[in-house]
Structure 1
């Protein structure tokens, strides 16, 4: 570890994280073999990172939510802590960042219908201290944390299909009670073994071995490895809201291949592209903009919002140092509380 305000992962640990980001549930023998170490050593090092709050593996049923969006929230300074805690605990939010400017928070939200998203935005607007709420619906996600890797491993250079696209509610499969049990167990530990999952869910080992591969294959359930931004030496995060351009394919292609890109999404509104990057400092935003402008001469950036810190990311609460907090996953708050979100009042 080196220290520059935060502990920074050693290169070997960053490579381990990168390998698990590519294959979150691969056997330890395969992970270790790719790194030139034993599976036992790889497992031991990973368990240390998880215990220290630097990295984690979770699961999320994104394909079950045909509607997602991003809620920009402006808050009275005196109520910032209260509002932050409230939106972080809300079952419809899977990601919350605290921002630097007049917009105080950005929250990623998900639901089974457009009315569900609208209901969530309304609930957030009614929190004491919230002054303004602006919702942008997500049309599609071309790049996100599931395919991103640390800069040490280099940019993603292969073509990736669209990761998520808004769909009709009727096109979405309905999970069974068995599926929901598996979702919740894997949200807590995305690398849990079949035996551990059977114990945690009360299902038979045979049922888990049959159903889990089906859920992963049809993408009703996806696993992902996440890592603290700060512990990669990336002190800054920032969001670019970009106006429509006829060269949008070039914009997306370049953005998806930039090492710091964490999100490339199509959204509603006057700025229909939302990009998120991680960087070593806030000055990295200038380099990102310069590279995008070189590829897309008519680029028009509506605004840049800087992330002060992340409060929540895919089911984990994060502390001020970027590491997973002690109360990382409250027992009554799941990443996606499907039963709650599927029955929103209309």
Structure 2
């Protein structure tokens, strides 16, 4: 694949799409001072080279998510990850250094489906030596809220949010139509409503209304991701923490101000907080640990792992450079709403 080095205009475009993944080129053109045709061409180049990807997925129900630490037989991590990548419940696979070989992110429809994977399908991989599960009880900060800092505050404020449903739009969306929308936007979060309408056998307006309704009620989330190695934060690390319960409330308001934090979840395990962060240098792994313990006095970083490579991210298969160049396994299984 031909390499491509994004410039400031590209990063501005990515930042805008992080704010509103389905924003039109016409709307973004005056904000970025670039004509719509050029924006469309730049986006297509970024997408074709795997540097960015836009994903739609089901927000699901509480208790459906988990992080799973995997230890494999020597030399079997890659083969195990490749086999697991075909499972739609496995939304993410990280190859890590430290006390685990792989770290899986599970996103199921409900807790029963999570249990089905953990109790049955996980045992189908013979090279797994050990697995430890951390059930997610609450998401404090989600990576879809993470932003580049390319646009000025004034520019970012001009990027419009999603359109609300029309007053005449149906207030609910049928399970069958939800299934089609989740599947199509799971592959391409900017998929045209006309193409989705054709696949679903309904009108374009109905798809437009359904997407707006699902985004409003939280059953559809959209996010724009960038290949980490092409950002200013090439180092990716996980922290496993024990935090005094009274400090959790402080985290709810402070996490959004820490630019390195990509994901923070409360879990039911020997830890109570697990965080994923992007850092600028490898030395920052320890510096950030000191910062955490300063911000959260009395807390303890019980363990940490640096991610060597991402195998799968929100259903997208990534290459060794972290680019979304492979097939897509939508997070929501095709047979489920």
Cα distance in 2 for residues equivalent to 1:321 and 1:148: 21
Counterpart position of 2:139: 141
1:18 is the counterpart of 2:18: no
Where does 1:182-261 land on structure 2 (aligned, <5 Å)? 182-245=181-244, 246-261=246-261
Counterpart position of 1:334: 330
Contact 1:251/1:295 (<8 A) preserved = no
Change (3 A) 1:153 1:124: farther
Change (3 A) 1:68 1:270: same
Deviation at 1:7, TM superposition (A): 6.2
1:288 is the counterpart of 2:288: yes
Where does 1:82-93 land on structure 2 (aligned, <5 Å)? 82-93=79-90
Contact 1:21/1:226 (<8 A) preserved = yes
Contact 1:65/1:111 (<8 A) preserved = no
Deviation at 1:118, TM superposition (A): 2.1
Cα distance in 2 for residues equivalent to 1:40 and 1:276: 36
1:33 is the counterpart of 2:30: yes
Counterpart position of 2:175: 176
Contact 2:109/2:332 (<8 A) preserved = no
1:129 is the counterpart of 2:130: no
Deviation at 1:54, TM superposition (A): 0.2
Cα distance in 1 for residues equivalent to 2:253 and 2:204: 43
Change (3 A) 1:227 1:264: same
Cα distance in 2 for residues equivalent to 1:152 and 1:75: 40
1:9 is the counterpart of 2:43: no
Where does 1:32-51 land on structure 2 (aligned, <5 Å)? 32-51=29-48
- For the residue of structure 2 that corresponds to 1:77, the secondary structure is coil
Please give the TM-score of this superposition, normalised by the length of structure 1: 0.84
- For the residue of structure 1 that corresponds to 2:297, the secondary structure is coil
Gaps of 5+ in 2: 158-171
What stretches of structure 1 move > 4 A for 4+ residues in a row?
151-155
- For the residue of structure 1 that corresponds to 2:335, the secondary structure is helix
Cα distance in 1 for residues equivalent to 2:103 and 2:266: 16
Counterpart position of 2:164: none
Change (3 A) 1:153 1:299: farther
CA RMSD of aligned residues (A): 2.5
Deviation at 1:139, TM superposition (A): 0.9
- For the residue of structure 1 that corresponds to 2:132, the secondary structure is strand
Cα distance in 1 for residues equivalent to 2:296 and 2:187: 41
Cα distance in 2 for residues equivalent to 1:65 and 1:198: 30
* Equivalent residues, number: 317
- For the residue of structure 2 that corresponds to 1:63, the secondary structure is coil
- For the residue of structure 1 that corresponds to 2:75, the secondary structure is helix
Task: Single out whichever of 246-255 and 184-193 deviates more from structure 2.
Answer: 246-255
Cα distance in 2 for residues equivalent to 1:290 and 1:36: 41
